[in-house]
């Protein structure tokens, strides 16, 4: 059963009068892997720093197990922060860096040795114990930073883009290791990242932020399939997003007007006739046919570009009024005779392949 561990309630942080974090509220369960994602400057790091105690909120409350943390110093919180530049002590050996948290907590020497060795082994850096951290690769430093944070066996680990300095291969490997560790330890992880693939691959739930506010908190699959609004839909790579107005609603199916066109849509929960909204249609649901068939939603378009990368193809099409439609498909599934730049075709999708979100 999910047990609430951390709660943020109406948390605010202002810099020079502007809100970097604007009344943010969410709660995190024990053992959850949470990713905070959003564009640069949306307030991710500031939110994490307030949880770590490195920044003080201007309003609201942060509670751990129901007790307010805002007056606690960072070292009194059981929530170390691991960040992209690792913040290791360059003049200390790997072992001394890993032991540091235990030294701060005044643990006896024998325990420090044993625990730090254990964690170095666990993270595959046991052989590097006596090396200076300046003589390590990026991936090795990242492991030292993680071992240093985990050696005190915290209840919660805060991660600020910890993998961003690693190359793609190492990053994917470390993602797997982080996830395995998190599952083994049942430690709550809060991971700030720009990367959608990273957050979707690892997190139980993703918090999408924009302009200092929370836009959506949901499981990755839900964010992908049912973004809360236009911003989230675009942020997670939604390609066909049309502004329009819901005309009429009948038994869960709606007529939705976009400019001069009307489309039939099934995903209309929470909307009423007259509402302004956005229609989202996944590019993988858009088909391309030679002529209208009078079924589903159809749009006369011209093919502008066809991009192929590996096994998939993205076809950009445009209607006479300038509306762009994008189809994405496995290369082998496209009709090569039909899908030619400059060809006039019909883009189509079924009513239940579209859904509405607020603008
Ligand atoms: N110490 C500071 N002084 C003034 N403004 C700040 C400070 N720290 C952050 N900000 C501002 O607060 C806003 C949120 O910053 P924050 O670092 O939390 O964003 P972010 O989402 O983590 O961005 P990034 O992904 O680029 O790291 C930004 O507009 C930033 O310029």
Please indicate whether residue 43, judged by its CB atom, sits closer than 6 Å to ligand 1. yes
Please indicate whether residue 49, judged by its CB atom, sits closer than 6 Å to ligand 1. no
Across the strands, what pairs with 113?
Answer: none
Nearest 5 degrees, angle CA 223-CA 278-CA 242? 110
Q: At what angle do helices 138-150 and 94-104 cross, to 10 degrees?
A: 20
Strands (E), the chain: 4-15, 18-29, 33-37, 59-64, 67-68, 81-83, 156-160, 188-193, 205-210, 213-218, 240-250, 253-258, 261-265, 276-281, 287-289, 297-309, 312-318, 324-330, 344-349, 354-357
Q: Which of 60-64, 213-217, 306-310 has the lowest mean pLDDT?
A: 306-310
Q: Is the Cβ–Cβ distance between 339 and 306 less than 8 Å?
A: yes
Please give the number of the atom of ligand 1 that sits closest to the Cα of 212.
14
> What separation in Å is there between the alpha carbon of 164 and the centre of ligand 1?
17
C-alpha–C-alpha distance, residues 138 and 213, integer Å? 33
Using DSSP's 3-state secondary structure scheme, residue 70 falls into coil
Candidates 275, 268, 265; CA nearest to 244 is 275
Residue 242 CA, chain-centre distance (Å), reads 23
Report the chain's mean pLDDT, rounded to a whole number.
Answer: 91
Task: Give pairs for 210-213: CB < 8 Å, separation 24+.
Answer: 210/38, 210/39, 210/42, 210/235, 211/22, 211/42, 211/43, 212/19, 212/20, 212/21, 212/22, 212/24, 212/42, 212/43, 213/22, 213/23, 213/24, 213/43
C-alpha–C-alpha distance, residues 233 and 55, integer Å? 31
- Residue 314 pLDDT level (bands cut at 50, 70, 90): very high
The tens digit of pLDDT for each residue in 140-182 reads: 888 898 888 889 889 999 999 888 877 788 788 888 888 988 9
Please give the number of the atom of ligand 1 that sits closest to the Cα of 48.
18
Nearest 5 degrees, angle CA 22-CA 207-CA 48? 60
> What separation in Å is there between the alpha carbon of 46 and the centre of ligand 1?
6
Give the pLDDT confidence score for residue 337 in this predicted structure: 87
Pocket test for ligand 1, best of 8, 39, 42, 57 (most atoms within 8 A of CB): 42
Give CATH 2.40.50.140 domain extents, the chain.
238-351
Residue 191 CA, chain-centre distance (Å), reads 9
Please indicate whether residue 40, judged by its CB atom, sits closer than 6 Å to ligand 1. yes
CATH 2.30.30.30 fits 238-351, yes or no: no
Give CATH 3.40.50.300 domain extents, the chain.
4-226
- Residue 190 pLDDT level (bands cut at 50, 70, 90): very high
Q: What is the pTM of this model?
A: 0.88
Q: Which of 78-87, 214-223, 296-305 has the lowest mean pLDDT?
A: 78-87
Q: What does DSSP assign to residue 304? A: E
> What separation in Å is there between the alpha carbon of 43 and the centre of ligand 1?
6
- Residue 85 pLDDT level (bands cut at 50, 70, 90): low
Does pLDDT of 218 surpass 80? yes
Overall fold of domain 4-226: Rossmann fold (3.40.50)
Give the pLDDT confidence score for residue 249 in this predicted structure: 87
Please indicate whether residue 13, judged by its CB atom, sits closer than 6 Å to ligand 1. no
- Residue 86 pLDDT level (bands cut at 50, 70, 90): low
Q: Which of 140-144, 313-317, 345-349 has the lowest mean pLDDT?
A: 140-144
Please indicate whether residue 39, judged by its CB atom, sits closer than 6 Å to ligand 1. no
* C-beta neighbour count of 225 within 10 angstroms: 14
**pLDDT above 90: percentage of residues in the chain:** 64
Give the pLDDT confidence score for residue 329 in this predicted structure: 92
Candidates 186, 177, 188, 183; CA nearest to 147 is 177
> What separation in Å is there between the alpha carbon of 19 and the centre of ligand 1?
10
Please indicate whether residue 44, judged by its CB atom, sits closer than 6 Å to ligand 1. yes
List CB contacts of 22: < 8 A, sequence separation 6 or more.
12, 43, 211, 212, 213
- Complex ipTM value: 0.96
C-alpha–C-alpha distance, residues 280 and 56, integer Å? 39
How large is the average pLDDT for residues 192-209? Answer: 92
Please indicate whether residue 83, judged by its CB atom, sits closer than 6 Å to ligand 1. no
The tens digit of pLDDT for each residue in 38-79 reads: 999 999 999 999 999 999 999 999 999 999 999 998 878 888
- Residue 105 pLDDT level (bands cut at 50, 70, 90): confident
Q: Which of 33-37, 160-164, 327-331 has the lowest mean pLDDT?
A: 160-164
- Residue 1 pLDDT level (bands cut at 50, 70, 90): confident
Please indicate whether residue 162, judged by its CB atom, sits closer than 6 Å to ligand 1. no
């Amino acid at each position: 059963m999910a047990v609430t561990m951390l709660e943020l309630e109406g948390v605010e942080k202002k810099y020079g009068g502007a809100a970097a974090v604007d009344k943010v509220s969410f709660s995190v369960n024990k053992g959850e892997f949470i990713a905070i994602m959003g564009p640069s400057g949306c307030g991710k790091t500031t939110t994490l720093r307030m949880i770590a105690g490195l920044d003080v909120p201007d309003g609201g409350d942060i509670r751990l197990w129901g007790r307010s943390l805002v007056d606690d110093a960072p070292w009194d919180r059981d929530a170390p922060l691991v960040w992209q530049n690792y913040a290791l002590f360059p003049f200390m050996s790997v072992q001394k860096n890993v032991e540091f948290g235990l030294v701060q907590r005044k643990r006896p020497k024998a325990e420090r040795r044993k625990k730090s060795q254990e964690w170095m082994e666990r993270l595959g850096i046991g052989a590097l114990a006596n090396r200076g951290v300046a003589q390590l690769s990026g991936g090795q430093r990242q492991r030292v930073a993680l071992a240093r944070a985990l050696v005190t066996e915290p209840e919660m680990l805060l991660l600020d883009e910890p993998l961003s300095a690693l190359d793609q291969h190492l990053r994917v490997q470390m993602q797997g290791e982080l996830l395995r560790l998190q599952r083994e330890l049942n430690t709550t992880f809060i991971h700030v990242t720009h990367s959608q693939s990273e957050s979707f691959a690892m997190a139980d739930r993703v918090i999408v932020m924009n302009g200092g506010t929370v836009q959506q908190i949901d499981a990755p699959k839900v964010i992908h399939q049912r973004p809360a609004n236009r911003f989230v839909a675009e942020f997670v790579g939604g390609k066909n997003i049309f502004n329009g107005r819901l005309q009429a609603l009948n038994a869960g199916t709606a007529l939705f007007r976009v400019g001069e066109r009307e489309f039939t849509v099934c995903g209309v929960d929470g909307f009423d006739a007259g509402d302004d909204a956005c229609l989202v249609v996944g590019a993988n649901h858009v088909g391309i046919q030679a002529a209208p068939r009078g079924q589903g939603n159809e749009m006369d378009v011209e093919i502008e570009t066809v991009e192929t990368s590996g096994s998939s193809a993205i076809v950009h099409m445009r209607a006479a009024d300038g509306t762009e439609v994008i189809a994405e498909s496995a290369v082998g599934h496209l009709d090569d005779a039909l899908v030619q730049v400059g060809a006039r075709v019909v883009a189509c999708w079924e009513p239940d392949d579209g859904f509405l979100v607020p603008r």
